[in-house]
């Protein structure tokens, strides 16, 4: 059995390969080739953190079989210099069921989440979009800049963080990639004129208002992956064409969608389609140049499982 740390995962799983693989993962999910329950969350009353488990089976050829992600989320970790999410992804030999590999889940999650957002950007954003606003300067904020730079030529990039020093660190980090980043003093300034937006924060209450979003923009909404957390105002969601990774997960787990639904601003039909349905040609995607599109990312076990098989096989090829 292979044991692969975060450095192994990042080395073996380049972002361009992840984007192609995650497009296939979303197609398989919407085509009914994936068996997975909603994620299970354990929140002990004496704990500040939680444990989430995400089992999955993927059918089809290549990167298929049983997989499992188990992650502990500890809100104190960023202050300790650690990732908010700590855990492992396991994949099992498709023939025997023996454990094939165990690998760092934080690295898998960072890469696959941004890769799916890049897929959504590629099929939903205006072709000439290139003015990017990133809200949040952590792991996902960084991985999203890397991934979106693959699918769009970025003319301008702005970042906002609640802690300005973190945004300054982000700017310095991006310079190492050859990307110039401006630090925005507030969310509204970051969003002004942006036609690409990635929200990657740990916000519990809305930080984005509808009239701050430019008409025709595309939003990848990554934070707020629990039913009681949200990054967008209800009016922002109501004014956008909404696409999701999974209708089931969005209905059960997305505070960004559940809140405006409870307020009567939207109905269940407000979700236009799953991203996989767009990729399969079952839905046309964006309705016009002035339509604001919103991709709500919850994160799916199929993304972790297919990523895990890719990394495991790359590691085995390297050692053979």
Is residue 118 a contact partner of residue 151, using CB atoms and an 8 Å limit? yes
* Strands annotated E in 145-264: 156-160, 182-183, 196-199, 218-221, 241-244
Q: What is the pLDDT of residues 255-275, one digit of tens each?
A: 999 999 999 999 999 999 999
First-last CA distance in the chain? 14
Please give the CATH topology (third level) of the domain spanning 115-300.
Rossmann fold (3.40.50)
226 band by pLDDT with thresholds 50, 70 and 90 = confident
Report the SS3 class of residue 232.
strand
pLDDT of residue 278: 99
Is residue 315 a contact partner of residue 4, using CB atoms and an 8 Å limit? yes
Please give the CATH topology (third level) of the domain spanning 2-108+302-319.
ornithine cyclodeaminase, domain 1 (3.30.1780)
Residue in 101, 174, 102, 100 with CA at minimum distance from that of residue 137: 174
Mean pLDDT of 188-212: 98
The rounded percent of the chain whose pLDDT value lies above 90 is 93
Q: Can you tell me the distance from the alpha carbon of 312 to that of 91, in angstroms, rounded to the nearest whole number?
A: 8
**Residues pairing with 99 in the sheet:** 92
pLDDT of residue 281: 98
Each domain of the chain, given as residue ranges in start order, spans: 2-108+302-319, 115-300
Residue 1 tokens read as: 């059995």
Mean pLDDT of 108-129: 98
Q: What is the pLDDT of residues 28-86, one digit of tens each?
A: 999 999 999 999 999 999 999 999 999 999 999 889 999 999 999 998 887 787 877 89
Q: What is the pLDDT of residues 280-312, one digit of tens each?
A: 999 999 999 999 999 999 999 999 999 999 999
CB atoms within 10 A of CB 57: 17
Tokens 């996989």, residue located: 276
pLDDT of residue 181: 99
Residue 211, C-beta contacts closer than 8 angstroms, at least 6 positions apart: none
Q: What is the pLDDT of residues 97-117, one digit of tens each?
A: 999 999 999 999 999 999 999
pLDDT of residue 81: 76
pLDDT of residue 62: 87
DSSP letters, 128-176, are T--EEEEE--SHHHHHHHHHHHHHS--SEEEEE-SSHHHHHHHHHHHHT
Q: What is the pLDDT of residues 133-178, one digit of tens each?
A: 999 999 999 999 999 999 999 999 999 999 999 999 999 999 999 9
């Amino acid at each position: 059995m292979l044991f692969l740390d975060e450095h192994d995962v990042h080395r073996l799983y380049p972002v361009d390969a992840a984007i192609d693989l995650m497009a296939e993962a979303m197609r398989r999910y919407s085509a009914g080739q994936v068996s997975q329950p909603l994620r299970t969350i354990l929140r002990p009353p004496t704990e500040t953190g939680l444990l989430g488990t995400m089992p999955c089976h993927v059918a089809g050829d290549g990167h298929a079989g049983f997989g499992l992600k188990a992650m502990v989320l500890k809100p104190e970790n960023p202050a300790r210099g650690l990732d908010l999410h700590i855990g492992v992804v396991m994949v099992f030999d498709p023939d025997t069921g023996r454990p094939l590999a165990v690998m760092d889940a934080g690295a898998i999650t960072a890469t696959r989440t941004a890769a799916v957002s890049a897929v959504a950007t590629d099929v939903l954003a205006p072709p000439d979009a290139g003015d990017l606003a990133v809200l949040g300067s952590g792991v996902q904020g960084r991985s999203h800049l890397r991934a979106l730079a693959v699918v769009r030529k970025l003319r301008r990039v702005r970042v906002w963080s609640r802690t300005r020093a973190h945004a300054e660190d982000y700017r310095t980090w991006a310079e190492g990639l050859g990307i110039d980043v401006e630090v925005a003093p507030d969310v509204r300034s970051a969003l002004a004129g942006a036609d690409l937006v990635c929200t990657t924060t740990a916000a519990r209450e809305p930080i984005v208002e509808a009239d701050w979003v430019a008409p025709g923009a595309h939003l990848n909404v990554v934070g707020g992956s629990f039913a009681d957390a949200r990054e967008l105002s209800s009016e922002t969601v109501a004014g956008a064409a909404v696409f999701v990774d999974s209708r089931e997960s969005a209905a059960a787990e997305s505070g960004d969608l559940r809140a405006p639904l409870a307020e009567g601003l939207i109905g269940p039909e407000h979700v236009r389609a799953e991203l996989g349905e767009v990729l399969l040609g079952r839905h046309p995607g964006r309705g016009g140049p002035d339509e604001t599109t919103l991709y709500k990312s919850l994160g799916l076990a199929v993304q972790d499982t297919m990523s895990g098989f890719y990394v495991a096989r790359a590691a085995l090829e390297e050692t053979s």
